[in-house]
Structures are given as C-alpha cells and as structure tokens.
Chain A
Amino acid sequence: MEKILDKKRIDDWIAALDNWDIQGPVLEDDIWSYQPVSGAVRLDHPNTKQSPKGLAFPQREIFFKFEQIKGEAPRLTQVVPDEQRHAVFGVRPCDGRGVPRMDLVFNDHVEDNYYQARRKNVAYVGLACNKPPSANCFCLSVGGSPVSTDGLDVQMTDLGDRYFVKAITETGKGLMAAAGKLFAEPSAADQKQVKQVHAEAVAYPQRAVRNVEEVPAKLKASFKSPLWQELAQACIGCGICTFLCPTCHCFDINDEVQSKAPLKGIRVRTWDNCQFPDFTMHSSGHNPRENTGARLRQRVAHKFQYFPENFGMPQCTGCGRCISECPVGIDIINVVNKVAENAA
C-alpha cells in the first residue's frame, strides 16, 4: 500500500488512531526523545538521543512481586505488561533495523515473554533519511540504508509538503486504513520523486566500516591483539554507548526490597552494560574481562563477530550514537577498521 499524505494532515492521521498511544520525537532539554504526543507530531528531528528500543525492552521491567511473612512460604505475584498499543512515529531506518535484531535475541532458544508481550503491541512508523541526520551515520556500510524498511511497519518519506507513505506490514496497513480518507493515491510524479529522493539519500557520502563481511574473521583472528587495550585506553567505562544503542540488550536481574518484615519486594530487570567493570565479575573476584580493552573487544566483537556468527548479520545498524555520544572519543568505526586492518 503506497499513499500520499499532505504534511498538514499528519495530526489528523494520529487523531484517527484510536486506542493507540502515539509516540513521536519531542525536543526537550535540548535533546530529542520519543515521548507520548497528543495532537501534533513533528518529524523534523535528526535522530533521537535514545533509540525506541525501550518500548519493547524498557530500562526497568518488573517480573514479579514477592511477599513473605516469617515462617511462611513466599507468595509470588506476576507482573504482566499492559496491553496498550504504541505507534512510534519518525523511527529512523537504523533504529528500524534494530527491531529484528532485538527480536532475534529475545526469541532465540526460548521466547522472552516480557519482550514479546510488549513487542507485539508496538508499531514502528519509520521516516526515511533524505540525508544523513548525523555526521557519524554509517548505515550503508553495515548492510543498511537510509531508506531501509527493515523492522518498520510503515515507511514515510518526506517529499517537501507531503509524505510518501508505504505500508510494510499488515499492522502498517491497519494504521493507514484507520484514516484511509486522509491519504491520496500517489501520482506518477510522486513515484518519480520518491525514487529520486531515495536515490539521493543513498548517494550521500557517509562514514563507513570497511568490508563488513570480512570483519568477523578478522576480529576472530585479533582476539589477542594489543590494539584493543590501546584503542580502549581512554574508555571511562560508562554506559552511554550501550544504553543509547538500538541493539544492545544486556540486562541485570535484582531483587529490590521494599520492606524487611514482612518481607516485600520486587524482582526487576534493568538494562546493564558490558562496559561496566564488574559486569562479568564472578563472586570470587575473578573477572574474565578485567580491563577496558577486553570490554571494548566484547562490545565490538559482539556486534561485528559473535552476532554475525550466530545470526548471519552484524548487530550494529550504523546509527552512530555510540560515536557521537562517547565523552572520550571512542569510535566504533575507527576501532573496527583499525583492528581489521591489522588482523593477522
């Protein structure tokens, strides 16, 4: 389904989406983030600071409550995500491509019921990048594209005063059908223009990971390379790169006690980060990844070697957030290229 939507009518479209919580990019405190929007949605954002991954994989997920009176058996009460549907507008193609990668992780081996319960209720309405929104975009070099529809339910393309709107999935068709009257059939000129815009988008120069298909083997051969520690020397071990990443999925599980007697509390999943020094530390004090070099290697190899080995594609979608936001200049493109270049 391909349609044309007058830019001025986008708010009417949103208004027609009853029962959907609409999330759109909002500029607040000098940063763009996805927030519930009612009435008006602005799609003139570069990319948001955080990816939309939190809708299916929130930073905090309560699994269950526990309660125990001394001398009695504990009582567990499951906490189940609500059934609210969310439609996220303005998802950039890199973040769209993050979605199937998260799906792979959370459905592999056994299905994660929490992720799945939320994921099935999220629709991703994408916005193609007519030009790279960041100087550190590199989607083309990791198999993506500024006009990729991967992971999206709907793809919108900005044609100046109107959007070219394409349904990618059945969910996407449903979203468009909910406001069918607002959409017009695209003319031959529209079709031509969208092709032109997409061609120009793809032609924009971007930074690049070189020969991404050769990278897994090169990283594998570089496990013991001294370059890792050299490249990670400035790393401060914070969680910016992973928390902002559209595909990082590592988490921690903890009991949070709210009352000691009677014992009351919750078991909670929270985002975690492989760059924290104690992420892999054993109870004995032994740490298989003891320095910043080993931890940077884990982050980079996970994206560019282990994930390709397990799922046949890089996990990185080239959004460039970890590069732009690193306070000390650690640059995943540079790291991958340097290590690959020096591989035995």
Chain B
Amino acid sequence: MINIQDIRETARDMLTKGEVRAVIGYRRGSRGMLAEPTFITSAEQADELVWDPTCFHNLSLYLVHDRKFLAHIRKNAEAPVAIVAKGCDARSIVVLMQEHYFKREDVYIIGVSCEGTGVLDERKLAKHLNGAQASNVAFDGGDFVFTTAEGEKRLPAREVMADRCLECRIPFPREHNIVFGEDKTGRQLEAPFAALTRFEAQGTGARWDFWSHHFDRCIRCFACRSVCPMCYCDECVVDSITFPVTTETTAEDKANRIRWIERSAVRSENITYLMTRAMHLAGRCTDCGECERACPVNVPIRLLNNKMEREAREQFGFEPGASIGGPSLVASFLDRDPGDFIR
C-alpha cells in the first residue's frame, strides 16, 4: 500500500532543495471525490497531493504543455519537473523521450504502482451506486472503499476498475527516479486485449455496424486528441482547417494546406479523424485510456488504439514505452519483420 505521506515528503523535499521547479501531481478537486491535476511550486503545497483511484489523468500531457510553453517564451528549463506517474503514464514519458520531446534529466519521475488495482471507471461506479454520490474513495487492497451519504460502501476493485487497468500487463512504472508501492506485474485480472478480442469475435457486418454507429456519434470536441500526451503535433493532420500560424507562416503555406477532413461532424470526416489518429498512435499509445475516458459521448476509442497496439506487438514484438534507448516502432526495422502486413 502506498502511503500518501511518502509522496508528499518527496515533493516537499525536492521543492525545498530547489531540485525541481514544480511537481505535477494530483490533488482533491472541487467536484466530489474526484482528484484533479495540480502543479505545485512550493514546499507548503506538498500536503495538497493525493493518491487514490480517481487519479485517472496521464499527467505526462503537462510535460508536453510545459515544453511547448518554454519553446513559446524561448527559454530553457532551469530545473527538472517532477511528475507523479502510474505505469502507463511512465511509459508515455518514455515514448516522449524516445521521440526526443525532452531529455531524461528534464524529468523526475515519482512512480506510483497501481499494485493490485488501477483507476476507477466512473460509468461502472454510477451503475453500482444507483444515483447516490460518493464523496471519497480509497484503495484498500483489492477493494475500493467509497464514502457515501448512506455510509461506507466497499466494492471489489475489479468490478469498478477501468477496462484499461483490468487489461494492463505492467501496472508499474519501470522507468522512475523513485517509486512507491509494490510491483504486481503479472497479475491477471483480464487477458491483455480482452475487450478487443471480444469485439473481433464478431463478423465483419456487425463490426461495421458498430463502428458506423459510433462514428456517427462523435461530436468532434477533440477531447481525445487534446488529452493525449502523444498528440503533441503543433499542426495536426486531422484538423487542417485551423492550425497554428506564426509570423513566419507564408500565405502559400496557409492557402495550399490540404483539408484532409472538414469541420462537419459527419461519418466520413469522423472516420478519417479517429482512424488517422489511431494510425498515428501505432507503437506510441501506451493504453493509458485517457481518450476513451475523456470522450463525452462514449465512443470506444480504446478499441481502435488497442488494435494498433496489438499489431505492433504481434507483428513486430514492439512494446511502446518499454525502454528509452530502444528505437521507436516506425523509425526502425528488423530483418525478421514480416513483409505481408500491408495488404
């Protein structure tokens, strides 16, 4: 079990000594029991930090934001940033480093093991609580313990955990500077890619109907892209109607830009958006599941990204975020790579 005081002490100590310029972590939000991202810069704020099953967010996104901000103001980082990272989050950080988005020494990883569990799925919880509201939740071994108006409610974690956590193979941040909690890699809550495997057991017609339905439902709020640490491109190919321009961008650049998709949230455009995004995540997505969690209309985006992840794994033995020194999937090849994967 992780003692939150240990995380707070670590943060406090580093901020006091000036070893990091900020700690990105989780704090209690203003919306009931839910945690939210926090960016603390002074030792006194360390007591804000929390660690519980509502720490959904993949905070490595904010390392990307920080990097962009520094580039915008044309400054170099004066000190590293510390970040609280779960297994999947730490793997995202590794991918970002593989892609040279920042260097290892720019980041101090405060790893947290998900141990036997993972994060909560609010939708699953809602069904269990039947309209009641929980004001707090805590880990307790294999259970989540909720505080509600009607008293304490204990639920087995696996009944209300996010699918991504059930299927997670390595719920432990192997890349870290310091780590809290036991490494429970090897636990078997659900088989890897279980949801995908179930989905793929259906026939082509059923799968097409399923996706047509969901592609029609996307409202193109771009939350999946915005919440994804891997979607860091300044100019996104799937949103080329509007894109950042600088004083250096020429009129030709702007005029000749190809509109791969239109703004209309209709099936054809939504397919191009979501499929292109999935392709661009192949070998990069660490299945943190934030896209699917953020989606306000419950488009099962993970299924698309999982598919790419499994292809990378089965065809090329590639595991995104496994090691900083290793090559990235699309920037490397091996003699034994199959040649028949493009049909």
Q: What residues of chain A have their CB less than 8 Å away from a CB belonging to chain B? A: 29-31, 33, 46, 49-50, 59-60, 135-136, 233-234, 236-240, 243-244, 252, 254, 256-257, 268, 270-271, 273, 276-279, 281, 283-285, 323-325, 327-329, 331, 333-334
Contact = CB atoms under 8 A, between A and B. Distances in A.
A241 to B, nearest CB: 9
B245 interface: yes
Contacts of A30: 123, 298
Nearest to A254: B263
Contacts of A33: 297
Given A30-B298, A244-B296, A283-B245, 20 more contacts: A29-B214, A29-B298, A33-B297, A136-B31, A233-B37, A234-B36, A236-B223, A236-B294, A238-B225, A240-B223, A256-B262, A256-B264, A278-B242, A281-B244, A284-B247, A285-B245, A327-B293, A328-B57, A329-B31, A331-B31
Given A135-B133, A285-B246, A238 B221 contact: yes
Interface residues of B, number: 48
Contacts of A277: 244
B296 A240 contact: yes
B249 interface: yes
A283 B254 contact: yes
B223 to A, nearest CB: 4
Contact of A329 (B30, B217, B225): B30
Majority DSSP secondary structure for residues of B touching A: loop
Given A254-B263, A327-B290, A234 B296 contact: no
A29 B297 contact: yes
A237 B37 CA distance: 15
Contacts of B62: 234
Nearest to A265: B262
Contacts of A240: 221, 223, 294, 296
Most A CB atoms within 10 A — which of B62, B223, B294? B223
Contacts, number: 120
B32 interface: yes
Interface of B: 29-32, 34-39, 57, 61-62, 123, 131, 133, 214, 217, 219-223, 225-227, 241-249, 254, 259, 262-266, 290, 293-294, 296-298
A281 B294 contact: no
Contact of A281 (B219, B220, B245, B298): B245
Given A29-B217, A254-B241, A237 B31 contact: no
Question: Which 7 residue pairs across A and B have the least CB separation, nearest first?
Answer: A329-B36, A239-B221, A238-B223, A327-B294, A238-B226, A236-B226, A329-B29
Contacts of A285: 244-249
Given A238-B227, A285-B247, A329 B37 contact: yes
A95 to B, nearest CB: 16
A60 B243 contact: no
Nearest to B220: A239
Contacts of A329: 29-31, 34-37
Nearest to A329: B36
Contacts of B36: 234, 328-329
Nearest to B133: A135
A268 B264 contact: yes
B243 A278 contact: yes
